[in-house]
Amino acid sequence: MAFQIIWFILWGVLWAVYFMLDGFVLGAGMLHRFLGRNDTERRVIINTFGPVWDGNEVWLITAGGATFAAFPTTYALMFSYLYTALLLLLFALIVRGVCFEFRGKMEGEQWKGVWDTAIVVASFLPALLFGVAFGNIFQGLPMDAAGYHGSFLSLLNPFGLLTGALFVLLFLVHGALYLTVKTEGDLSARALATANRFWPALLVVAALFLVAAYPATGLYGNYLAVPLLLAVPILAVASLLAIRVSTAKGKPLMAFAASSLTVLLVVATGIIGLFPNLIPSSIDPVSSLTIYNSSSSQYTLKIMTAVALVFVPIVIAYKIWVYRVFRAKIGLEDVLGDEHSY
């Protein structure tokens, strides 16, 4: 039983770290065509995350792999019930990667304009679909012993769309602050102004989410049972407010750190509220998928835990090294005349 809890925590950590890392890439991608006033500035934006975006996907693959290995029943039914949404998400992520690589293969405004638009769309869709998927998981899927009784369109319900809007705005602010830190001059100033412009909308949507979650989901159950856990959502709100305080003081790096913490704590708030469920049922609680009725054997979990203790620290150390190597700001002169840049 202890191993199920360990892997539930690790599962939550993997998703939280993925959203923190790829969140700023998705946000920067959504802003790419609008913040970049010309081809050079757009190349600068892409080059801020060019060396790291594909490495961030490792956390998504690992989160999916951990679900498959630790909770195979949940993995199987999730990909069955949410097949269309997850397939659209997968296609969007594939297109986004193709856009980064193909945009600079030919010259011409029309060629680059098509890929620039595709980057925006392929960044917006994953942010929205991730939010919609988690929103529906938080409130429970209409499933029972006979199977799933919903459709793709039923996922686009008010709470699912509200959670989708929360993810989109969270990543927009996160991405804008990342560009503020990683670029220089007028582009950096415009990115900071964009973060400040979206922040009030994020605050409103986050407040609406917290209010709507009470009647729509069972997320508050664990917090009411163990009030000490309320420290997590309270810290999430505090870090969200710290973003605006930091930008007002002219400290964009501190604002980006607060934004990163906000993403981690928002995901943690949802994961803690779910426990011990992985996919609750909205029509038959007995049919809910939990860490206990959908997990692998104790022997499998034990082996996985030993492997994770060895390799997860290596992955973390590697990511720290990569971000340290590519920590410098990207300026206009860094992409002009550099055929190896994006």
In the chain, domain spans: 2-335
**289 Rama sector, left if φ>0, alpha if ψ -120 to 50, beta otherwise:** beta
Identify the CA nearest to 274 among candidates 288, 258, 261: 288
pLDDT at 233: 95
Residues 266-275 have a mean pLDDT of 95
Identify the CA nearest to 71 among candidates 332, 333, 263, 275: 275
Q: Are strands 289-290 and 143-144 parallel, antiparallel or unpaired?
A: unpaired
pLDDT at 58: 87
Tokens standing for 210? 């917290």
CA 169 to the chain's CA centroid: 11
pLDDT tens digits for range 171-218: 999 999 999 999 998 999 999 999 999 999 999 999 999 999 999 999
Highest mean pLDDT: which of 69-83, 189-203, 293-307?
A: 189-203
Query: For residue 123, what pLDDT band results from cuts at 50, 70 and 90?
Result: very high
Residues 65-79 have a mean pLDDT of 91
Highest mean pLDDT: which of 59-68, 139-148, 225-234?
A: 225-234
Task: Give the separation between CA 312 and CA 255, rounded to whole angstroms.
Answer: 27
Residue 334 has pLDDT above 80, yes or no: no
Residues 279-290 have a mean pLDDT of 92
CB 271 within 8 A of CB 282: no
Residues 255-264 have a mean pLDDT of 97
Identify the CA nearest to 295 among candidates 320, 277, 310: 277
Residues 7-20 have a mean pLDDT of 94
Cis peptide before 313 (omega within 30 of 0): no
As a whole-number percent, the residues of the chain with pLDDT over 90 amount to: 67
Q: What is the DSSP letter of 103?
A: G
CB 23 within 8 A of CB 270: no
Query: For residue 327, what pLDDT band results from cuts at 50, 70 and 90?
Result: confident
pLDDT at 338: 60
CB 80 within 8 A of CB 127: no
pLDDT tens digits for range 304-318: 999 988 988 888 898
Least confident of 61-75, 108-122, 324-338: 324-338
Residue 340 has pLDDT above 90, yes or no: no
CA 79 to the chain's CA centroid: 18
Q: What is the DSSP letter of 144?
A: E
Task: Give the separation between CA 321 and CA 48, rounded to whole angstroms.
Answer: 16
pLDDT at 165: 97
Task: Write down the mean pLDDT value for the chain.
Answer: 91
Q: What is the DSSP letter of 277?
A: E
Compute how many other C-beta atoms are within 10 angstroms of the C-beta atom of residue 155.
20
Burial class (CB in 10 A: 0-12, 13-18, 19+), 105: exposed
Which CATH number does the domain 2-335 belong to among 1.20.1630.10, 3.40.50.720, 1.20.120.50, 3.60.15.10?
1.20.1630.10
Residue found by looking up tokens 């002219």 in the block? 250
pLDDT at 337: 61
pTM of this prediction?
0.93
